[in-house]
Amino acid sequence: CRLPTHGCFSGQIPAFTPLLRLVAAQLGSLADVLVVADALHAQTGHAEYLAAAGGHLMVTVKANQPTTFAQLKAVPWARVPVGARTRETGHGRTETRTVKAVTVATPGGLGFPHARQAVRITRTRTVKGRTSRETAYLTVSLPAGAAQPADLGTWARAEWHIENRLHYVRDVTLREDAHQARTGNGPAVFATLRNTAVGYHRANGEPNIARATRRANRRSTDLIDAVTSSNPTTQ
């Protein structure tokens, strides 16, 4: 279960518990469910809530948790062996992801509830001869036996996959953050419409949502035709 931080940040933190109650209702419980969340959700209350429900939290830690962030950076990472490394090349870019993880032996040693492992993920990208490096620090409440470095890297990457394929598209292509609907049900309604548009294009195999949106602007009846042809009762 991946929780994004996008749009109105002030509404993300209080929405955490109600959202997970819906997830629990759907699944039957949160027992053994791992929630992967962005840094905004590095909240002690979130970790406590999930632990009480039998679930787990994997979360990026940044300056909003200064003590934990400092402790994560202070881990002697040079002495921690690389647990997993992946390398991909495509679209003129080479990216290497290196994952290191170490068990937190002292209870509360990271100053974050239920943290069992400290994690560092380094992403090195080379595009047109220019190399950049990004380092992310995370905690996870799963022990090493249930969350190996390769698993941690896969989960972290899946989070960014959703971010890039949906939230980035909603913001950059559909200009979500610039929209003026900010009160009442307006933001939720327009978010639903944007998700519907993106989902429609993805279902049609469109690799480029911006291009598909421009084409839809010129042929606005295509969506109506598609919906009515597959649902005769709406005609």
pLDDT at 50: 94
Express each pLDDT in 46-67 by its tens digit. 999 999 999 999 999 998 889 8
Express each pLDDT in 102-136 by its tens digit. 998 765 568 889 999 999 999 998 988 899 999 99
pLDDT at 59: 93
**pLDDT tens over the chain, length 235 residues:** 544 444 444 457 888 888 899 989 989 999 999 999 888 888 999 999 999 999 999 999 998 889 899 999 999 999 999 999 999 887 678 989 999 999 987 655 688 899 999 999 999 989 888 999 999 999 999 999 999 999 999 998 876 655 555 555 666 676 666 676 667 777 777 777 777 777 777 777 777 777 777 777 777 677 667 666 665 554 4
What CA–CA distances, in Å, run from 210 to 140, 173, 191, 205, 215? 36, 6, 17, 13, 9
pLDDT at 197: 76
